[in-house]
Structure formats: structure tokens, C-alpha cells
Amino acid sequence: MHTSLKQQAIDILRMNDRGGYTVPTARLYPYQWEWDSVFAALGFATFDRDRAWVEIETLFSGQWADGMVPHIIFHKTDPDYFPGPEMWKSNTVPPSSGHSQPPVAASAMLTMMKTGGAIDRARAKALFDKLIRWHRWFHTYRDPDETGVVGIIHPWESGRDNCPDWDIGMAEVAVPEDLGDLPRRDITHVDPSERPTAEQYNRYLAIVKFGQECRWDHLEIARNGPFFMVDPCVQFALMRGDRDLAELADAFGEPGIRDEAESWLKHSKEGCETFWSEDVGGFVAKDLRSGGLSTAFTNASAMALYADAGTPDQQNRSVAEIAAILDNCSYGFPSWDPRDEQFESRRYWRGPIWSVVNYMIAIGLADKDETALAERLRADTRKAVEKSGFYEYFDPLSGEGLGGKLFTWTAAIHLAWAM
Ligand code: 9WN
């Protein structure tokens, strides 16, 4: 019997459920990842509200004492993934990685509250304090000089691991001589041509080593660590999150918190001016050590409207770039501008399409009344899934599915975007 795509998406979420949390996909990613889990919750919310909240509650069970929600929580050690808990040495229970990922939970929690009832409100309220502490952590430890712009200390913190955006900062990361051969597992699960290179992995691990050696002292890492860059995706997710946090605070009768979130947002809007590129016509990644800007428009640049960042002129230019790039791709918005020579249609964050980012871009476009572009993005994202299935990411030119199969967030977005 033919199973509908909707039912297949539900089956994938159930299949990747490890009891309280979902893995992004079996074998390749056997742990709980932060932003994957939040998007998983949005998918679960379409057919099992309780399970949706449990996903976010389990995520916050890994929150650090200083407020950080780590990017990976190692609930059960699994040799299928490298680097595992022994490399991070977080000294937390449960063990985790040592940095965060795009803070998308406030926005998902607001969506779930708005589409739900009294129980959803109560579950959101119970997590509210943890949520505020996470946002405070970002503003304190990732923007220690109060510039209005947060930095990331590792490309993995962006969630857009090997995007050419990080090439400027990564070039400065020294690889320690004693690093040795890395026992990578990812390239045994997926075609190496669709994954980061060995050179990049050595540098990823060099940054982990620095963090682990200073016992994840986040002020030390921000000031003296090997890598510190602005990521439009993290900055815009945080800005949207602060806006949604303010709305949650209002709903919960917490005017002090609402004012705190609104003042972060105001300051962040001013800070955005520092990573606008006139050459590109968009907001781009910036190396906070050298001041260098990245050179092309990405799917993170396209999230500017989601955060309501920039002047009306900057927003209009961003919309023009989005439309022009979409004209070059049939399956959604690519992670690197296909008109640029560094574009690689199959290599991970150097070209391919990711459903979750498409989803946030489209929300921003719809907010700005760019409804035709928003609908096109939704239709193109579905087209990739219809053609290839629920893959981790897709070739923007052919729609071919790439990376991991039966992928949680691709399934979750398929469900949530129809809501
Ligand atoms: C490192 C789980 C994660 C996503 C990231 C994606 C990829 C990990 C990896 O997989 O990163 O965090 O090992 O490649 O880039 O966005 O959260 O799906």
C-alpha cells in the first residue's frame, strides 16, 4: 500500500525517537542535537503535543549551570559518532559538547503556544526561566563587549559547519602537532565528497582542544580562542528569539523580562550594521579577529527578514538577492550563492539546500508581505522531498537527496510547514 509523505514523516519522527529525545538520523548522528530537537518538536506538535514538549524539556535537562544549552547532549555513549563525550570533557551530567547552536527554542515555543491550548501554555511557562537564562548566556558570553552582535566560537556553533563563510576564520586556526589521526566516523556513513574535508576536521578538533583545555571558560574562549566570528544565522535566530521571548514574557505577565528582551533586540538591530556588505547586497559572516567579511550571499543572509534586521533599503536589497538566487535553483534556497565560483552543489553547507533554513527564510518573507516568494520556497522545499525523500540536505540544481537518510528535521519541517 502507498504510504503518504505525511505518514512517512510521522514514521521517521517515531523511528528516530530514543525515548524523550530524537536523534537527527540513525548511525550518522546518534545523539540529541539542539536545533534539530527544537524543529523535531515542531513536527511532533502536529500529531502529539505531549511528545513535542518532552523533546524540549529533555533538551533543557542538558542546560549548563551558566545557562548554555549545548549543541549535542550525549545521553548514551555511542561509538558511531566522533567526537564523542571523551573529546569534549564537559564535566556535566548528562555529558555534552562545549558550545551551543542557533537558539531557535523561544520561537518554536511561541508557535506551539499559539497553536495550542492551556496545556501548551503551562508547559511553555514551566520552561520560561530556563529559556531566559539561555538567551542571557548568549548576550553575556558571546558578546562580552556589548557590541550588539554575538560571535560563534566554532563553525559547529553556527550549525552551518563547512560553509565558505568560515574559511577566513578557519585559516587562522593552528592545528596542534599532537592531534594525531582523527577516527572520523561520518565518512564511513556518508560519501566523503558530501562532507567536510580532513583539513577542516583537524581545525574543528583544534578548537575543541582549546575549549577543553581551558575547561570551557567561555569568556576566555571569546577573547583568546582560535576562532570568533559573527554568524548571520545565529545572530538572526537570537534576534527573532528575543522578539518571541518578549512576547512570551508579556503573555506570562513578566514586564521586566519583556523590557530586558526588547532592549537586547534594539541593541542587536544597531549591531547588524557592522556585518552588512554593500558588495554582496546582504548581511554576511564576519571574522571578529581580523574584521574580514565573507564574500557571498547565503541562506543565513536570507534570514535577515526573519529577524527584521536592517534598514528598509537593506531589506529591499536582500529580497532582490533572494529572488535572483531562487531563479537559479529549483529546490529552495542554497547555502552558498550558485553564481559564485566557490559554490559546490553537493558539499554540505557549501551549496546544498536545508529545509529548516528554508522554513525560517519563508517566515521572514511572509512577515514582509513577500508572500509569493515565501510560497515558492515552501513549494520548492516540498518538491525536493517529493523527488528524493526525507534526506538531510539536497542538491539545489537537481533536487537529489544528500547526506543522511530518513532525517528528523526534514520530516519535521514537512509536517510543521503544513500547519
Ligand atoms: C556537527 C545534526 C547536525 C546539525 C548541523 C549539521 C551537522 C554535525 C556534524 O549535523 O553537524 O554538529 O557532525 O556534521 O551541520 O547543523 O545540527 O543534524
Cα separation, 151 vs 34, whole angstroms: 18
Query: Is 36 close to ligand 1, i.e. is its CB under 6 Å away?
Result: yes
Query: Is 35 close to ligand 1, i.e. is its CB under 6 Å away?
Result: yes
Fold of 5-416: Glycosyltransferase (1.50.10)
The distance of Cα 142 from the centroid of its chain, to the nearest Å, equals: 16
Residue of 13, 23, 27, 29 to test ligand 1 pocket, by largest number of atoms within 8 Å of CB: 29
Q: Has residue 233 got a pLDDT over 60?
A: yes
Cα separation, 36 vs 58, whole angstroms: 13
pLDDT digit string (tens) for 358-409?
A: 999 999 999 999 999 999 999 999 999 999 999 999 999 999 999 999 999 9
Ligand 1 centroid – CA 159 distance (Å): 6
- Indicate if the alpha-carbon torsion angle 239, 241, 247, 249 is positive or negative: negative
Ligand 1 centroid – CA 220 distance (Å): 25
If you take atom 12 of ligand 1, which residue's CA is the nearest one? 156
- Using an 8 Å Cβ cutoff, are 30 and 78 in contact? yes
Degrees to nearest 5, angle at CA 28 with 23 and 31 = 35
User: How confident is the prediction for the chain on average, in pLDDT?
Assistant: 97
pLDDT digit string (tens) for 255-278?
A: 999 999 999 999 999 999 999 999
Assign 220 a pLDDT band (cuts: 50, 70, 90).
Answer: very high
Assign 419 a pLDDT band (cuts: 50, 70, 90).
Answer: low
Q: Who contacts 139 (Cβ-Cβ below 8 Å, separation ≥6)?
A: 150, 264
Overall average pLDDT of the 115-133 stretch? 98
Contacts 24+ apart (CB under 8 A), 261-266: 261/135, 264/135, 264/139, 265/239
Instruction: Report how far apart, in Å, the C-alpha atoms of 153 and of each of 73, 84, 141, 307 are.
Output: 18, 18, 10, 22
Q: Has residue 299 got a pLDDT over 90?
A: yes
The distance of Cα 370 from the centroid of its chain, to the nearest Å, equals: 23
If you take atom 8 of ligand 1, which residue's CA is the nearest one? 156
Cα separation, 362 vs 378, whole angstroms: 7
- Residue 193 has a CB neighbour count (10 Å cut-off) of 12
Q: Which residues are catalytic?
A: 161, 392
Query: Is 29 close to ligand 1, i.e. is its CB under 6 Å away?
Result: yes
Q: Has residue 180 got a pLDDT over 90?
A: no
**ipTM, 2 dp:** 0.99
Residue 2: predicted pLDDT: 78
pLDDT digit string (tens) for 21-61?
A: 999 999 999 999 999 999 999 999 999 999 999 999 999 99
**C-alpha cell of residue 392:** 538531510
- Using an 8 Å Cβ cutoff, are 299 and 331 in contact? no
Q: Has residue 178 got a pLDDT over 90?
A: no
Domain limits, the chain = 5-416
Instruction: Report how far apart, in Å, the C-alpha atoms of 377 and of each of 29, 302, 345 are.
Output: 27, 12, 18
Q: Has residue 322 got a pLDDT over 70?
A: yes
Residue 268: predicted pLDDT: 98
Residue 71: predicted pLDDT: 98
Query: Is 62 close to ligand 1, i.e. is its CB under 6 Å away?
Result: no
Cα separation, 160 vs 284, whole angstroms: 13
Residue 418: predicted pLDDT: 80
Q: Who contacts 75 (Cβ-Cβ below 8 Å, separation ≥6)?
A: 18, 20, 21, 31, 32, 94
Overall average pLDDT of the 65-75 stretch? 98
Q: Has residue 79 got a pLDDT over 60?
A: yes
